[in-house]
């Protein structure tokens, strides 16, 4: 089943990334609200540890993906740092 899903995603030539966010303390839940408004953000997980949030972001091209991360996610208030890992 997992291979079927992978093949389906590849057939649409979608670029995806896992994005890790550090947020200013104390954590502001409005960050999650802002992320949920972005169509490119498909999953948002609140975590404990070094990073506060883990996201899955999808776009049609890698350039579009980086634009979303840098321009839309990176400008959300109280997001301090971002680590982006493109899924190959």
Query: What structural domains does the chain harbor?
Result: 15-87 (3.30.70.920)
In this prediction, residue 38 carries a pLDDT of: 96
**62-68 long-range Cβ contacts below 8 angstroms, 24+ apart:** 62/15, 62/86, 64/15, 64/40, 65/15, 65/16, 65/17, 65/40, 68/38, 68/40
Higher pLDDT, 11 or 87: 87
Report the C-alpha gap between 57 and 69 in whole angstroms: 8
Identify the residue whose tokens are 């899955």: 56
pLDDT tens digit sequence for 7-49: 565 556 789 999 999 998 888 889 999 999 999 999 999 999 9
pTM: 0.82
Question: Would the pLDDT of 62 be above 70?
Answer: yes
């Amino acid at each position: 089943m997992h291979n079927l899903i992978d093949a389906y995603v590849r057939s649409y030539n979608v670029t995806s990334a896992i994005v890790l966010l550090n947020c200013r303390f104390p954590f502001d839940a409005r960050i999650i609200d802002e992320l949920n408004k972005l169509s490119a953000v498909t999953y948002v997980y609140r975590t404990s540890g070094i990073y506060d949030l883990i996201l899955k972001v999808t776009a049609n091209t890698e350039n579009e993906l980086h634009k979303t991360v840098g321009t839309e996610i990176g400008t959300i208030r109280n997001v301090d740092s971002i680590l982006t890992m493109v899924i190959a």
